[in-house]
Amino acid sequence: MSGHSKWSTIKRKKAATDQKRGNLFTKLVREITIAAKTGGGDPAGNPRLRLAIDTAKANSMPHENIQRAVKKGTGELEGVIYEEITYEGYGPGGIAVIIETATDNRNRTVADIRHVMNRQGGSLGENGSVSWMFQRKGSIDVPKDAVSEEQLMEVLLEAGLEDLDSEDESYFNVITDVKDLEAAKKALEEAGIAYENAKMDMIPDNFVEPGSDDAVRAMKLIDALENCDDVQAVYSNFEISEQAMNSLDS
**pTM (2 decimals)?**
0.86
Residue 34 lies in a domain: yes
Reading the chain (250 residues) residue by residue, the pLDDT tens digits are: 334 456 566 665 555 555 455 578 899 999 999 999 999 999 999 999 999 999 999 888 999 999 999 999 999 999 888 999 999 999 999 999 999 999 999 999 999 999 999 999 999 999 999 999 999 999 999 999 989 999 999 999 889 899 998 888 888 999 999 999 999 999 999 999 999 889 999 999 999 988 878 988 998 999 899 989 999 999 999 887 666 666 655 5
d(CA 171, CA 37): 34
By CB atoms closer than 10 A (0-12, 13-18, 19+), residue 222 is buried
Give me the pLDDT at residue 246, please. Answer: 63
Contact 234, 96 (CB under 8 A): no
Give me the pLDDT at residue 243, please. Answer: 62
Give me the pLDDT at residue 239, please. Answer: 83
Report the CATH number that the domain containing residue 53 is assigned in CATH: 1.10.10.200
Residue 127 lies in a domain: no
- Nearest-Å Rg of the Cα atoms of the chain is 18
Residue 69 lies in a domain: yes
Q: How many domains does one find in the chain?
A: 1
Give me the pLDDT at residue 244, please. Answer: 60
Give me the pLDDT at residue 12, please. Answer: 58
Give me the pLDDT at residue 4, please. Answer: 45
What type of residue sits at position 24? L
- Per the structure, the complete domain to which residue 33 belongs is given by 4-74
Residue 249 lies in a domain: no
Alpha helix (H) ranges present in the chain? 7-18, 24-39, 47-58, 63-74, 106-119, 149-156, 181-190, 212-226, 242-249
